[in-house]
Copies of this chain bind each other. A is one copy, B any other.
Amino acid sequence: MYRSHDCGVLRIEHVGQEVTLSGWLQASRNFGGLTFIDLRDRYGITQLVFNQEERKDLAEQANKLGREFVLRATGIVRERSNKNPNRPTGDVEIDVHTLEVLNASKTPPFTIEDETDGGEELRMKYRYMDIRRNPVKENLIFRSKLSLETRKYLSDNNFIEVETPNLIKSTPEGARDFVVPSRMNEGQFYALPQSPQTFKQILMVAGMDRYFQIVKCFRDEDLRADRQPEFTQIDCEMSFVTRDDILETFEGLTKHLFKTTLNVDLPDFPRMSYDEAMERYGSDKPDLRFDMEFVLLNEHTKGHGFSVFDDAELVVGICVKGKAGSYSNKDIKKLTEWMQRPQIGAKGLVYVKYNADKTIKSSIGKFYTDEQIAGWKYAFGAEDGDIVFILSGEEEKTRKQLNELRLEMARVHDLIKPGDFKPLWVIDFPLLEWDEDSNRFHAMHHPFTAPKQEDEARMLNGDHETMKSLRADAYDLVINGSEIGGGSIRIHDRALQSKNFDLLGFSKEEAEAQFGFLMGAFEFGAPPHGGIAFGFDRLCAVLNGQASIRDFIAFPKNNQGRDMMIDAPSPIAKEQLIELSLDLKLEEKE
């Protein structure tokens, strides 16, 4: 027997019992006559005591043990004279009479503490040491709990979890596929799924009615900071539903998850159209934990001879409450430069300070009278002491730039209350985006998304311009400015699906080769259906108020798509290549 109890469970009521514990040496302290060892396992830390006078050999053995040694100790639970109220086991300690080293440890490459001295790369290479640290361990336990609660809720709501295949077919649309050469089908490849989209629709055609899956998906993209080549989705689909059925079900799921993991009661989620979100926040995933709504200034600023505004499609600003005094000329210059970086690309940044002493200071003071500028104050609902920032230019770009500024203001001025959660449904997305470069439409959500019912006829019969105005029956769940998930009502009619592929630039042959099975299925009694997918890694991070998904993934890959611990990917044997009828062509790329 390795243990009678774990290291987190002993309390004052266990005093006098003989117990056996196993775990890792977290820390040891030698006070001459007494040696204390903190023994750690997943469940907690318990103090072991060795008395030099009573058991000399044992105490000397204990003094030689290093950090992260694996120990088994047997002894009697006794009350501590010096209790530790910060530790659940802090009332007791173990007077050890038998000690065994189960395994030794070399000196850890970084400290196994909540705040570690290990850098990102070292932590990933020795991930098995990193996961011993509380923050990472707790994240993984949280993730496990979140997935179980998701499954319980969806199962209680009649959803069936169905595993869809991982070895599927490559479809060049969208992001790049990871492909898998088939040995048994020479020259052919499987692809790893970017999502189970077509399979879950097929399951609806198959009459499964309510499907879900917590499922790995794969995208071979150039990895940005917080992307992973493999990621996890809560993937769902429902039959005989309208949008509101889906929103209610998954609002229910989200509330359940917040309640069962954080004990947070979320209020009903507001809904906002894509157009409204863009107008008020310049983003389709607005962070509602703080205000600073966009204020349209076209009518207030145009026609007064300031050509920058006069020539602009849009003049728009935000008001930062009480911060007029926080911005010196130098600060403004720095912020302007930040806005002018290529990542944001603003041409300039106009400010107006409504100072606490009622004076007004603005970078465009010479183009507008003080009365005119004072007039804008009402548009902003600004008060003395506030500062206003104004951008101008082409409508879409300018809104996006101002969105960046709004987010930066919230960060800089610490406007976000920790533990605050603001969920939002964004609805009524455009169906199609016109892409000038490729001279064709792209699906804003994906090619299976249905237009809103009232737009269906226009979609089937409209001209090119009409297509730009079609609305999709699509929706995103946004929490605290993060897109948690999205979905749509799907097309379930072959003619409409065919028309959509047409608009998206598929030839009849391409559409048939890639999605013929789905269009075929639509001819055998496909029910109306729709669904949603939540990014599970992101959901974990947002619930914990963390920006990065990486520490919610046990073994994440770095920005080059490498697993630093196992050192993958790696070359494979020549024999494997031959079996797969493949040859490396390393020069072709250069």
A172 within 8 A of B: yes
* Given A170-B576, A571-B187, A140 contacting B128 (CB threshold 8 A): no
A417 within 8 A of B: no
A333 within 8 A of B: no
- Report the minimum CB–CB distance from A108 to chain B (whole Å): 6
* Given A137-B207, A209-B41, A560-B184, A588 contacting B578 (CB threshold 8 A): yes
> In the complex, what residues of B have CB within 8 A of residue A105's CB?
523-525
Q: In the bound complex, do residue B208 and residue A572 qualify as a contact, i.e. CB atoms below 8 Å apart? A: no
Q: How far is the CA of A151 from the CA of B189 in the complex (A)?
A: 34
> In the complex, what residues of B have CB within 8 A of residue A41's CB?
207, 209
- Report the minimum CB–CB distance from A511 to chain B (whole Å): 14
Which residue from chain B places its CB closest to the CB of A24 in the assembled complex? Answer: B525
Q: Which of B145, B152, B165, B571 contacts A555 (CB 8 A)?
A: B165
Q: Which of A127-152 contact B (CB under 8 A)?
A: 127-132, 137, 140-141, 143-145, 147-148, 151-152
A573 within 8 A of B: yes
> In the complex, what residues of B have CB within 8 A of residue A583's CB?
582-585, 588
Which residue from chain B places its CB closest to the CB of A181 in the assembled complex? Answer: B179
> In the complex, what residues of B have CB within 8 A of residue A177's CB?
576
Q: Which of B2, B22, B40, B106 contacts A523 (CB 8 A)?
A: B106
Which residue from chain B places its CB closest to the CB of A162 in the assembled complex? Answer: B554
Q: Which of B128, B161, B162, B179 contacts A521 (CB 8 A)?
A: B128
A167 within 8 A of B: yes
- Report the minimum CB–CB distance from A146 to chain B (whole Å): 10
Q: In the bound complex, do residue B588 and residue A202 qualify as a contact, i.e. CB atoms below 8 Å apart? A: no
Stretch of A216-224, A404-412, A444-452 lying at the B interface: A216-224
> In the complex, what residues of B have CB within 8 A of residue A145's CB?
155
Q: Mark A1-22, 1 if CB is under 8 A from B, else 0.
A: 1110010000000000000001
Q: In the bound complex, do residue B189 and residue A161 qualify as a contact, i.e. CB atoms below 8 Å apart? A: no
Stretch of A30-38, A348-356, A562-570 lying at the B interface: A562-570
Q: Mark A467-494, 1 if CB is under 8 A from B, else 0.
A: 0000000000000000000000000110
Q: How far is the CA of A40 from the CA of B166 in the complex (A)?
A: 31
Task: Tell which of A161, A209, A493, A566 has the most Cβ of chain B within 10 Å.
Answer: A566
Q: How far is the CA of A588 from the CA of B582 in the complex (A)?
A: 9
Q: In the bound complex, do residue A185 and residue B585 qualify as a contact, i.e. CB atoms below 8 Å apart? A: no
> In the complex, what residues of B have CB within 8 A of residue A130's CB?
206
Q: How far is the CA of A589 from the CA of B182 in the complex (A)?
A: 14
Q: How far is the CA of A525 from the CA of B25 in the complex (A)?
A: 9
Q: In the bound complex, do residue B524 and residue A222 qualify as a contact, i.e. CB atoms below 8 Å apart? A: no
- Report the minimum CB–CB distance from A181 to chain B (whole Å): 7
For this chain, the copies found in one complex come to 2
* Given A172-B576, A584-B583, A131 contacting B164 (CB threshold 8 A): no
* Given A140-B162, A147-B161, A203-B131, A188 contacting B569 (CB threshold 8 A): yes
Which residue from chain B places its CB closest to the CB of A568 in the assembled complex? Answer: B169
A528 within 8 A of B: yes
Q: Mark A99-120, 1 if CB is under 8 A from B, else 0.
A: 0001111101000000000000
Q: How far is the CA of A517 from the CA of B555 in the complex (A)?
A: 13
A227 within 8 A of B: no
A205 within 8 A of B: yes
Q: In the bound complex, do residue B2 and residue A182 qualify as a contact, i.e. CB atoms below 8 Å apart? A: no
Q: In the bound complex, do residue A106 and residue B188 qualify as a contact, i.e. CB atoms below 8 Å apart? A: no
A504 within 8 A of B: no
> In the complex, what residues of B have CB within 8 A of residue A321's CB?
none
A178 within 8 A of B: yes
Q: Mark A256-293, 1 if CB is under 8 A from B, else 0.
A: 00000000000000000000000000000000000000
Q: How far is the CA of A586 from the CA of B182 in the complex (A)?
A: 12
Which residue from chain B places its CB closest to the CB of A184 in the assembled complex? Answer: B561
Task: Tell which of A152, A517, A560 has the most Cβ of chain B within 10 Å.
Answer: A517
Other CB < 8 Å A-B pairs besides A185-B562, A579-B589, 17 of them? A24-B525, A103-B493, A106-B524, A128-B202, A128-B205, A130-B206, A141-B160, A144-B155, A163-B553, A167-B557, A167-B568, A168-B566, A172-B573, A180-B569, A191-B568, A191-B572, A578-B589
13 A-B contacts (beta carbon < 8 Å)? A24-B207, A41-B209, A140-B160, A162-B554, A165-B557, A170-B572, A179-B181, A183-B220, A190-B569, A198-B566, A578-B585, A578-B589, A581-B586
